[in-house]
Structure 1
Amino acid sequence: MLSSEFLGHNEYGHPQFNNVRTEAGEAVYQLKYKQDWEQVAQLASGVIEHIVPKFGKIGLVVPVPASKQRARQPVYEVAKAVAKHLKVESFEGIVNKLPTDEPTVSLKDLSTKDEKVAALEGRFELKDAITNEGCWNALVIDDLYDSGASLEAVCAMLGSYRKIGKIYVATLTWK
């Protein structure tokens, strides 16, 4: 977010803002909250053009598990588009976020990294989803970088998997 100006409250009492986002930030917003699926190509293109060339050979793509359940997951769609361009597989289910019986607070409602790390502790599982032998460099893709807590948890899981070599990370935007 480049800037946010409070405009007042609407007729329902909800605060209204004039938000100015980066180009990538606006594309992520349109994709996640307005279901504008045409943004997938633009975001994937940005990753391919500006981020992927900085890394070594990528053998597979892993999207960070979504924190909110949706019929169609935005970051999974971007990961699939990047993987298709790279001619590699996108592994959506290799790291999963486990459900919990206890009420949980959204990570975006927690203010410190320590709180987020604590909230994520024990919430991810690793699936042995790579069926062929070898050691693959993984590109982990997340939609938003805030504290890095989710990315660190996912990368720690992947780092413990014998079929994963190097781990590269790309985020679409930041908070």
Structure 2
Amino acid sequence: MNVNVKEINGVWDKGFSLDKHKISSTYAGENEYGHPTFNTLRTDIGEALYQLKYKADFSQCDVIAANLNNLIVPLLPFVSFIFAMPPSKVRPKQPVIEIGHALSKLTDKPCINDILIKSKTTPQMKDIENREDRVNTLLDAFVVNTNVVKNRLPKEKYNIFIIDDLFDTGTSLEAVTKKLRECGKIDQVLVATVTRTI
């Protein structure tokens, strides 16, 4: 698999993305409902993510996790545990969480996804124009699960490794990074995304 890892910067301590999501997308006309259609050429990892999310091919989790483990984990300082970004869409099986579990097996690091609870639904971020408003909306939607912090994080400081599917504006990762720092147990926030738009 051909992958082009790139550093992604933000309020977190260190972050990387495996590759761009797509190489090109050209207009192909309209479908029978009058909606535009496109011929899209994706990167190898972008295609794997597409197959996982939109074709429910969960065998792609192992492929994606292996790339994260082989290409990004060695670039990071010590990882204490993995955290998969909370889903924005309800699905019977959540792709990013499944990637987190697959990566957990490869790294022998726990995947602790219940450290944050999404306490309320949020509007689509694309419908909120201002970046600061998007971050604040997300900050308001998440609550640190103090029971998990108390019972699963007995030591003083941990390096958390957040994984997500796509890096676009970075507002979700920014909000989650800020919220996780509130628990007082996080030393470094490390980030990896499967794909990026930039």
Calculate the TM-score normalised by the size of structure 2: 0.80
Deviation at 1:162, TM superposition (A): 2.5
For these two proteins, the number of residue pairs brought into alignment is: 172
Aligned partner of 1:87 in structure 2 is 108
- State the structure with bigger RCO (CA 8 A, min sep 6), 1 or 2: 2
Deviation at 1:96, TM superposition (A): 2.2
Matched, 1:24 2:45: yes
Long gaps (5+) in structure 2? 1-21
Q: Structure 1 residues 48, 108: CA separation in 2 closer, same or farther (over 3 Å shift)? A: farther
Matches within 5 A, 1:62-141: 62-100=83-121, 104-110=122-128, 113-128=131-146, 129-130=148-149, 131-132=151-152, 133-134=154-155, 135-141=157-163
Calculate the TM-score normalised by the size of structure 1: 0.90
Q: What is the identity percentage for the equivalent residue pairs of Structure 1 and Structure 2?
A: 38
1:156 to 147, 169, 178: 178
On the 8 A contact 2:139/2:179 being kept in 1, the answer is no
Aligned partner of 2:8 in structure 1 is none
Long gaps (5+) in structure 1? none
Deviation at 1:115, TM superposition (A): 4.6
Deviation at 1:114, TM superposition (A): 3.5
1:7 to 11, 19, 28: 28
SS at match of 2:33: coil
| 1:98 partner amino acid | S
Aligned partner of 2:4 in structure 1 is none
Matched, 1:33 2:51: no
Task: Tell me the C-alpha RMSD between the 2 structures.
Answer: 1.7
> Distance between the aligned counterparts of 2:136 and 2:189, measured in 1?
23
